[in-house]
Amino acid sequence: MPEYLLAIDQGTTSSRAIAFTRDGHAAASSGRELPQIYPASGWVEHDPERIWDDVRHCVRETLSQLEDGSRIAAIGVTNQRETTVLWDRRSGRPLHNAIVWQDRRTAADCEALAEHEDRIAERTGLLLDPYFSATKLAWLLKTVPGARAAAEAGELAFGTIDSFLLWRLTEGRVHATDASNAARTLLFNIHTQQWDDELLALFDIPRSLLPEVRDSATDFGQTRLFGDLMPITGMAGDQQAATVGQACFEPGMVKSTYGTGCFMVMNTGSLALRSRHRLLTTVAYRLDGVPTYAVEGSIFIAGAAVQWLRDALKLIEHAGDTEGLARQVDSTGGVYLVPAFTGLGAPYWDPLARGAITGLTRDSGISHIVRAALESVCYQSRDLLDAMRADGASPASIRVDGGMVANDWLMQFLADMLGVDVERPGTSETTALGAAWLAGLGCGWYRDLAELSALWRRQARFVPAMAEDRRATLYAGWLKAVAKTRDTDG
């Protein structure tokens, strides 16, 4: 009887389900694009019911592709992080749309708490920013009619998308999350590995709302919604799951994921290293009660810039068109695109910055703008890697994944801009693979991380070929363009 691990990968722009074999091969998959909701400038929401419907559809379609008699050994869940859902415990219905990690509506609330930033950073490893869940949850409790009273009465549940899906998968029997997701809320002490009562008081959030925090590979209950009873034994936020899927298990190893945003994560082992250059300290994963930490740089807009070129500007029909257009010109001709549509992430952390295209001339065309959008991903990655280098890191290579890494031109420019080798794995589905591997650890399919590390395979390596003076000139132009997006005086 064939056996598989099933990964549920709920991302910002799509929901997917993938069935993996023991050696990490994707045997079947299904996906659906997720509509974005923009109620106001800087606001981003998702419909939780649409997410749930899409996940169920993708799981069923994936299972239907497997041969008769196949068995799912375990399910792993990975998710867009920080996105906040508040729901009724009795009915399971959300009280409001999910507030997405990109949403900036609570920028003023964060500013009002600025005097507490050091205390928050010391306990959570995070910066005080609308990116994270706490101020989103506080906004819901303050804004949704009746929410505060219902929360105080213990009638509501909060969760990031993983918790919401787990609640639905287990039909309300399990309200839990894993340490990697809890670490993204601004409410979790990453040193004690507990919800922090002082932070709960600071954000005025009742403890009764919170899910139980578990290891990343453990028992999360079972689902009976797809026929056979299936155990759920793995869970991690998408970037942490990708870190596992890239087998970055040793301190100093770095992976960078290029999806809606870009997220560069460096394993720091048992050390919760506090960055001096505005990177985040986070939990990479927790196994057998022991956390492994990481330093992370977060970029809000990467692949979403290509989506913007397609959907808003109508410059391209398909994301795959960008590589050919970028190759049509030798350079952008001085054009820079700074995709600060929802502010700037690390290392700037400027929620008020807004996007810009600079350097346009009469000679500028679609190819120049498209190439500038792709180059912006690499420049932002350079921002992150330089911050990591300033904190003492010196990686010789970076493992990359996500939908954008199929673009060979982009990967070569990335290697040129970073000045390090860029390694692309045999599977680009490393986020889902990481969730599956965690589920495999949780159900006993795999013995340890060393067994998983032996399964990782490199598909391609991109070696820096750009002259240093050219690299420096291009990056200096990027820094000037970024400065203009932050010039609030115009």
Place of tokens 């050696």: 23
Return binding residues.
12-14, 16, 81-82, 131, 238-239, 260, 303, 307, 403, 407
Locate 286 and state its tokens: 């927790």
The DSSP 8-state label assigned to residue 422 in this structure reads E
Which has the closest alpha carbon to 243: 218, 264, 221, 262?
264
Binding-site residue numbers for ADP are 12, 16, 260, 303, 403, 407
CA distance to 24, 112, 234, 369, 405, per residue, from 457 (Å): 10, 48, 22, 34, 15
d(CA 322, CA 302): 13
Which burial class, exposed, middle or buried, applies to 470 when counting CB atoms under 10 A from its CB (0-12, 13-18, 19+)?
exposed
Asked if 434 and 242 count as a contact pair (C-beta separation under 8 A), the reply is yes
Spatial distance between the Cα atoms of 169 and 77, rounded to a whole number of angstroms? 11
CA distance 214 to 285: 10
Question: Between vectors from CA 219 to CA 217 and to CA 225, what angle results, nearest 5°?
Answer: 115
Classify 394 as helix, strand or coil: coil
Cross-strand bridge partners of residue 177: 213
What burial letters (b/e) apply to 237-248, b meaning 16+ CB within 10 Å? bbbbbbbbbbbb
Binding residues for glycerol: 81-82, 131, 238-239
Annotated binding site for ATP: 12-14, 260, 303, 307, 403
Helix residue spans in 313-402 (DSSP H):
321-327, 366-390
φ/ψ of residue 373, rounded to 5: -65, -45
Binding residues for sn-glycerol 3-phosphate: 12, 81-82, 131, 238
Amino acid sitting at position 367: S
User: Going by C-beta distance under 8 Å and a sequence separation of 6 or more, which residues neighbour residue 185?
Assistant: 82, 124, 132, 133, 134, 137, 160
- Whats the size of the chain, residue-wise? 490
